[in-house]
Amino acid sequence: MAALLNRQRMECRSDGAFLYRSRPFQLLGYEIKPEVVFTMVWSEQELLIVFQHIRIQGLGAFERAIRFSCEAVLQPCSEGLKARVSASLLMDGDHPIALVPVPLRRRLADQALKLVFARLERRCQGGLKRSLNRWLETEASPGRTSSECE
């Protein structure tokens, strides 16, 4: 996971989950700073990543109205790494944002998810490949000792 996320922004919690604090970035005119608590489970063939709790700072009044969920599966394959991701963005029906017409809310949510996935795709195509190669070189080096949260 450290190959995908910046280690300085990620901490291993006592319950086995991880807390990741993203650096701020622009999204639909807002400067947001997501914080995500997630778990990972490795099976024989794939890594399952499930977001347990997401807090998106910087959305002002919309912050409490939006719930984001995400689940990803990473699987090594002969061509490299295959990923499947499922994400959703839900808006609270009791929040004043519910007065905005549904088609407009859907367009905004769709645009927000596309921007998030575009950012994730850039990270996977660039940083993930470089970090995986560095990690593989480190793992293959003699005298290497593993740490608990890697």
Does the residue 92 lie in any domain? yes
Does the residue 119 lie in any domain? yes
Does the residue 142 lie in any domain? no
Distance CA 111, CA 113 (A): 6
For 15-62, the pLDDT digits (tens) are 989 998 888 888 778 888 888 899 988 888 888 989 898 888 887 777
CATH number (domain holding residue 77): 3.30.530
For 94-114, the pLDDT digits (tens) are 888 788 888 888 887 788 778
Does the residue 150 lie in any domain? no
Instruction: Give the residue with greater pLDDT, 94 vs 126.
Output: 94
Q: What backbone torsions phi and psi does residue 4 show, to the nearest 5 degrees?
A: -95, -30
Q: Is 16 left (phi over 0), alpha (psi -120 to 50) or beta?
A: left
Domains contained in the chain, number: 1
Q: Of 89, 95, 91, which Cα lies nearest the Cα of 112? A: 89
Does the residue 52 lie in any domain? yes
Does the residue 121 lie in any domain? yes
> Which range marks the domain in which residue 119 is found?
7-137
